[in-house]
Structure 1
Amino acid sequence: MISEKVIEIKNISFQYDREIVLNQIHLTVPKGSFLGIVGPNGSGKSTLLKLILGLLRPDEGEILLFGEKQSKFRQWERIGFVSQKANSFNTGFPATVFEVVASGLTGKLGLFRFLRPKHKREIIQAIEQVGMKEFMYRKIGELSGGQQQRVFIARAIVSRPEILILDEPTVGVDAKNVQSFYKILKSLKEQRGITLLMVSHDIDALLSEADHVVYLNKRVQFYGDTDEYKSIRGERFSLVDQHGS
């Protein structure tokens, strides 16, 4: 049985100021998979995520989301995004956990729509799913780094996306909370069937959870099963894949 492709990247190329960042990237992401994206600094990992999210436009090639050309795609609530906490949210902002998670429904409801009871239930459910119910009305800035990142996951999943994209989400999170973080992702994958794409500086932790791996260094140098990647990692990639994006 052929798996449904939720993302198709066809011969994408992209450059900044005439410097090639990505060169002829071809990649498909099956529904329900957990794809880990690894590679050395400056290899184009975060740029690839921005292209998928429509934040950048490729110079060549095309991207299909759920079988539709990205240029015509409008159902962005089907894709959630979690970035590095420090880069994505001002934790000094006087918002509660509930309010931060509720902001994840803005794209679905519009900026000035009031929350209905069903939306409030969705918010509470997302908060419960990441184990933060007891902190629901606590200010976001009062939480630890690991707790804050759980809240950002809840914000990303409150609209019930089918794809969750994560860019270095565990930076600054201690080892105990990293384990908890991956348990949440595993639960989302198993219970909701969410497709996961994740870039991480912590290669070993990512490889322990992802079922597929892309090794990116401006080009796709490996794409396949995680176990296969592990078997050749020491031979081909060990000197350069221990660093971030």
Structure 2
Amino acid sequence: MKDAVIDIRHLSFYYDRQKVLEDINLTVEKGSFLGLVGPNGSGKTTLLKCLLGLLKPQHGEVRLFGEDIRKFKNKHDIGFVSQKANSFNTGFPASVQEVVSSGLTAKLGLFKRMSQSDKKKTAAAIEAVGLSEFSDRNIGELSGGQQQRTFIARALVSDPQLLILDEPTVGVDAGTVENFYHMLQDLNKRLGITLILVTHDVGTITDKVTHVACLNKHLHFHGNSAEFEAMGEQGLSDFYGHSVNIITHDHHHHH
């Protein structure tokens, strides 16, 4: 597929002969927003590590932007935000602006002064995640949700085509989470960034994402949000092995 950002074929991964991922086939098209869900231990983190080239699968292939991952060089096309990002100690002496601009250092070399264009990029990334008024604030003073937005801005600043977020709402309070997902939806729609969101919040995200993939060693489901919602709670419960309540949302958007 020419517009596939990610194309995974027949990927299997073992740790000590134990199958963690078995025959995964997954295509993610440009501009889509994929929610990747699955119980703990289902292989989600392993799959991300295979995508980021940190682990080599024993079988199958991973292609990024049409290129075999082993040949893939444009690492800055992919932004990654881990769930560890928000475990910052509050004494950490860096402003939002400093943290975000550090996302450019890979390209800049660490101690070069920021040019005007870098300042512009940094400001634009901070604005994209709605933190402009906190630009000079010490990151340690921010809430968990604001810290996580800062790390997303840091990933955005190098202008990636694909942004991967691993459980980004861990440690973010429920009220903020909804706004947080709206922000991701906005980044996807307005900036056209392809997003992959690894999450437990199945119910919360179905009205934000364009596609859902359910992983539990195998890929049990991959389709668009409507198909996923049609599968309903029974299908999901079969997949998780216990009952799952999908919270259906009244689609009033709170801003």
TM range (shorter): over 0.9
User: Are the equivalent residues in 2 in contact too, given 1:162–1:194 (CA < 8 A)?
Assistant: yes
For 1:115, the aligned partner's letter is M
Q: Separation in 2 of the partners of 1:146 and 1:159?
A: 21
Specify the SS of the correspondent of 2:206: helix
User: Are the equivalent residues in 2 in contact too, given 1:10–1:63 (CA < 8 A)?
Assistant: yes
Shift of 1:89: 5.0
Q: Separation in 1 of the partners of 2:211 and 2:34?
A: 5
Task: Tell me the residue number matched to 1:204.
Answer: 203
Q: Check 1:91–1:4 CA distance in 2 against 1; reply closer, same or farther (3 A cut).
A: farther
Q: Separation in 2 of the partners of 1:172 and 1:97?
A: 19
Structure 2, unaligned stretches of length 5 or more? 246-255
Q: Check 1:197–1:73 CA distance in 2 against 1; reply closer, same or farther (3 A cut).
A: same
Q: Separation in 2 of the partners of 1:35 and 1:131?
A: 22
Specify the SS of the correspondent of 1:55: coil
Task: Tell me the residue number matched to 2:24.
Answer: 25
Specify the SS of the correspondent of 2:70: helix
Q: Check 1:42–1:90 CA distance in 2 against 1; reply closer, same or farther (3 A cut).
A: same
The answer to whether structure 1 residue 146 and structure 2 residue 107 are counterparts is no
User: Are the equivalent residues in 2 in contact too, given 1:85–1:149 (CA < 8 A)?
Assistant: no
Task: Tell me the residue number matched to 2:249.
Answer: none
Q: Separation in 1 of the partners of 2:152 and 2:175?
A: 17
Shift of 1:186: 1.6
Runs of 4+ in 1 over 6 A off after TM superposition: none
Task: Tell me the residue number matched to 1:5.
Answer: 4
Task: Tell me the residue number matched to 1:77.
Answer: 76
The more displaced of 83-92 and 128-137 is: 83-92
1:33-48 superposed matches below 5 A: 33-48=32-47
Larger RCO, structures 1/2 (Cα 8 Å, 6+ apart): 1
For 1:75, the aligned partner's letter is N
Q: Separation in 2 of the partners of 1:111 and 1:10?
A: 38
Task: Tell me the residue number matched to 1:213.
Answer: 212
Question: What is the aligned residue count?
Answer: 242
Deviations 1:84-135 (A, max 9, x none): 1457755542111111101111222233443211001100111111111111
For 1:126, the aligned partner's letter is A
Q: Separation in 1 of the partners of 2:64 and 2:227?
A: 27
For 1:154, the aligned partner's letter is A
Q: Separation in 2 of the partners of 1:70 and 1:203?
A: 29
For 2:178, the aligned partner's letter is Q
Specify the SS of the correspondent of 1:236: helix
1:40-79 superposed matches below 5 A: 40-79=39-78
Q: Check 1:58–1:110 CA distance in 2 against 1; reply closer, same or farther (3 A cut).
A: farther
Q: Separation in 2 of the partners of 1:186 and 1:129?
A: 12
Deviations 1:158-192 (A, max 9, x none): 11111110110011111221122112112211221
Q: Separation in 2 of the partners of 1:87 and 1:173?
A: 9
Q: Separation in 2 of the partners of 1:187 and 1:93?
A: 29
Task: Tell me the residue number matched to 1:185.
Answer: 184
For 2:173, the aligned partner's letter is D
For 1:199, the aligned partner's letter is V
Deviations 1:21-52 (A, max 9, x none): 10111111000001111111111111111111
Task: Tell me the residue number matched to 1:93.
Answer: 92
CA RMSD of aligned residues (A): 1.9
TM-score for both structures, normalised by structure 1: 0.92
Q: Check 1:55–1:111 CA distance in 2 against 1; reply closer, same or farther (3 A cut).
A: farther
Percent identity reads 56
